[in-house]
Amino acid sequence: MSKYDIIVLGSGPGGYVTAIRASQLGFKTAIIEKESLGGVCLNWGCIPTKALLKSAEVFEYLKHAENYGLSVKEADKDFTAVVKRSRDVAGGMSKGVQFLLKKNKIDVIEGFGKLKPGKKVDVDGKEYSADHIIIATGARSRELPSLKQDGKKVIGYREAMVLKEQPKKMIVVGSGAIGVEFAYFYNSMGTDVTIVEFLPNVVPVEDEEVSKQLEKSFKKSGIKIMTSSEVTKVDTSGKGVVATVKTAKGEETIEADILLSAVGIKSNIENIGLEDVGIAVGRDKILVNNYYQTNIPGYYAIGDVVEGQALAHVASAEGILCVEKIAGQNVEPLDYGNIPGCTYATPEIASVGMTEKQAKEKGYDIKVGKFPFSASGKASASGATEGFVKVIFDAKYGEWLGCHMIGAGVTDMIAEAVLGRKLETTGHEVLKTVHPHPTMSEAVMEAVAAAYGEVIHL
């Protein structure tokens, strides 16, 4: 039996980052992976979807080249080549993870790992033991009873990334990040897309003004949106899909070639030995304390299998914190109220902290500032004037309660708000911090100025 200090089960952005940090701290470390290094994020999620979205963005530029004084004749796409590029990017990133694990002297064990009592893991009949075992098995596309995925006509995000042919019509059920990103991609490629959302607003976790802006932008680009609507039945007996949708006005039927189910995720906690070890589970999540220890000593869990935002950067942060605690370092629990969320459609969405509605519900007296990109010189020069930056401050102490952005490149801008909130900055400090001009990011300063009645360019 091979013995380690730490074994990590799963090599996604939670698992491989955890393993590397463990090795840096001097632990003899192994990582177990049943499929591809990098997990869903690198192979079937974050990275390949961004490659698809970049192709869509470039195609959009080509189609509107005349807006920039350029002439491009008969711009067209090769759907197969677009998909291939995405897969090549994912493959390159997976090889990068392989290199990093080797560089950090981490043993990679290929196969399906199952937890055993006594701090052991069985991998396809071979046993390994460790002082600490960290579960990072991630999640997969969730299936609803009325939306059983067959992988052909009713699909999840994995199939949506590698379709052999571009569908003429597509229904996207669910308007979270996955749903709207694929809706944007396929619409940009020329597919007729309809989004069906159960809640009253698209991207329902976002500030309502952001939701309304995205809906406006999507409708302008030709995406049909049905909110407060539910797919109750799907008929796949014909050539395509016929979906029955319950709306406020009654039932409707929509026909399409393919239906993409993007209604959330399901934790990968089945058949990995949790019951054998006695690890406590609640509401599809492994129960852990602030440092990701389960109820059984020596077993830990991070990422999508525990409560908290199911995001790659959250899983990485949790894993680092977990092994630093094991190493005896003085670490603080993760602040889940200061986690940035990003959606990479066009326009992009980025946010952190409370929405305006949440701040009011918590009883704060607030100052709200909003600066539209239509008033930004850089946005005008770039031809990307859709969207805005919105900031929310506590009127009494100047605490930065929330920041919400929609527009070009905002996923690269949100870190300013995350860092500012971490350092407990005030609105006046942000306002007096000189921002470069012309940039998209100066819209943050302008929005803060608007909150305090000092806005110059609006």
> Which residues are catalytically annotated?
437
CB neighbours of 412 closer than 8 A, spacing ≥ 6? none
Nearest to 431 by CA among 415, 412, 454: 454
State the Cα–Cα distance between residues 449 and 371, nearest whole angstrom: 9
Residue pair 349/343 in contact by the 8 Å Cβ criterion: yes
Place of tokens 């919400």: 404
State the Cα–Cα distance between residues 298 and 131, nearest whole angstrom: 6
Place of tokens 């934790």: 267
User: DSSP labels for 304-357?
Assistant: GGSSS---HHHHHHHHHHHHHHHTT---PPP-GGG--EEE-SSSEEEEEE--HH
H, E, C per residue of 53-112: HHHHHHHHHHHCHHHHCCCCCCCCCCHHHHHHHHHHHHHHHHHHHHHHHHHCCCEEEECC
State the Cα–Cα distance between residues 93 and 87, nearest whole angstrom: 10
Nearest to 174 by CA among 161, 150, 155, 190: 155
State the Cα–Cα distance between residues 36 and 43, nearest whole angstrom: 7
CB neighbours of 125 closer than 8 A, spacing ≥ 6? none
State the Cα–Cα distance between residues 49 and 47, nearest whole angstrom: 5
H helix and E strand count, the chain: 14, 24
Residue type, 264: G
Residue pair 152/158 in contact by the 8 Å Cβ criterion: no
Phi-psi region of 220 (alpha: psi -120 to 50; beta: other; left: phi over 0): alpha
State the Cα–Cα distance between residues 142 and 454, nearest whole angstrom: 47
DSSP class of 227: -
State the Cα–Cα distance between residues 247 and 226, nearest whole angstrom: 8
State the Cα–Cα distance between residues 418 and 340, nearest whole angstrom: 7
For the chain, the distance separating the N- and C-terminal CA atoms, rounded to the nearest angstrom, is: 69
